[in-house]
């Protein structure tokens, strides 16, 4: 399978997904927004990289044209993993920070889905996996912009699932549990708090998340679309 992962180099979740998919023999396109040195990339002939700001429509168009047309590397699965989070009370959140979260997490995902669908519909096959967040269904304070953008992502994904089903394109959402990363302003206190919320007393579910993504990418859910999966051990978030 040919799989494109946004934020596949710089984010913790993205890197882990890319590494696993390469191990399993997939061809992976990992996109990145900010330059990164080559020595940090997994070494594989099946890894392609592409510099891309997902909130820029021209970049997104170029990306899909490059892989579907110029490289003749049709993408079977799009994993929208890139995201950003700027913390703060909504009443004090700077408008530019709000816009950055909406532009990347929501508009960027919309653009990726929009242009991927146009190419994938020609092949009558393909799937989109949108990485959501438990924040979408909750009310965690001090990250209201992130929460709102991820809630929007769920609606976007489910609507797309309906619209794209006639073209045999599937769209599902995977919500990771708490995973320490730069996105959630990780701190030791936060990790202790989240571990206490886990019914199983575990620190995070990163390996389960990667297992699940790998399972979906193997086309193991060919009859499933429009669904939201929580990879979590917390009930009260």
Partner 1 sequence: MKERIKQGIAVVKKVEVKELDFGNDTDLIEEVGLTSIQIMNLIFYLESEFNIIFDDDDLDLENFQTINNIEKVVNKQHV
Which sequence positions are flagged as catalytic?
A: 146
In the 3-class helix/strand/coil scheme, how is 128-145 assigned residue by residue?
A: EEEECCHHHHCCCCCEHH
Decide if residue 167 touches partner 1 (CB under 8 A). Answer: yes
> How far from 194 is each of 34, 177, 187, CA to CA, in Å?
30, 9, 11
From the CB of 110, what's the least distance to partner 1, in Å?
Answer: 13
Strands, DSSP E only, in 27-160? 27-32, 47-51, 77-80, 126-131
From the list 71, 118, 190, 203, which residue makes contact with partner 1 (rule: CB under 8 A)? 118
How many residues contact partner 1, by CB under 8 A?
7
Q: In the complex with partner 1, which residue's Cβ is closer, 13 or 120?
A: 120
Residue 188 is inside which H or E element, if any? helix 188-197
Applying CB under 8 A, the span of 77-85, 115-123, 174-182, 196-204 interacting with partner 1 comes to: 115-123
Decide if residue 110 touches partner 1 (CB under 8 A). Answer: no
Evaluate whether 235 touches 199 at the Cβ level (below 8 Å). yes
Q: In the complex with partner 1, which residue's Cβ is closer, 17 or 60?
A: 60
Q: In the complex with partner 1, which residue's Cβ is closer, 62 or 100?
A: 62
From the list 115, 116, 178, 229, which residue makes contact with partner 1 (rule: CB under 8 A)? 115
- The binding site for partner 1 (CB under 8 A) comprises 61, 115, 118, 121-122, 166-167
């Amino acid at each position: 399978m040919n799989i494109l992962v946004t934020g596949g180099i710089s984010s913790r979740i993205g890197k882990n997904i890319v590494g696993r998919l390469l191990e399993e023999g997939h061809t992976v396109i990992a996109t990145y927004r900010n330059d990164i040195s080559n020595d940090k990339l997994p070494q594989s002939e099946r890894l392609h990289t592409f510099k891309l700001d997902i909130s820029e429509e021209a970049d997104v168009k170029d990306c899909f044209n490059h892989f579907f047309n110029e490289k003749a590397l049709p993408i079977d699965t799009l994993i929208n993993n890139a995201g950003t989070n700027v913390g703060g009370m909504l009443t004090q959140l700077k408008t530019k920070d709000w816009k950055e979260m909406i532009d990347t997490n929501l508009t960027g995902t919309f653009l990726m889905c929009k242009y991927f669908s146009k190419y994938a519909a020609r092949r009558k096959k393909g799937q989109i996996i949108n990485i959501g967040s438990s924040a979408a269904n909750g009310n965690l304070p001090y990250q209201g912009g992130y929460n709102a953008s991820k809630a929007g992502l769920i609606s976007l994904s489910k609507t797309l699932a309906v619209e794209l089903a006639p073209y045999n394109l599937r769209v599902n959402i995977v919500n990771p549990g708490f995973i320490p990363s730069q996105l959630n302003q990780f701190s030791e206190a936060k990790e202790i708090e989240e571990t206490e919320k886990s019914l199983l007393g575990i620190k995070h579910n990163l390996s389960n998340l990667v297992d699940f993504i790998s399972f979906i990418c193997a086309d193991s859910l060919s009859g499933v679309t429009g669904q939201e999966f929580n990879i979590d051990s917390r009930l009260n978030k």
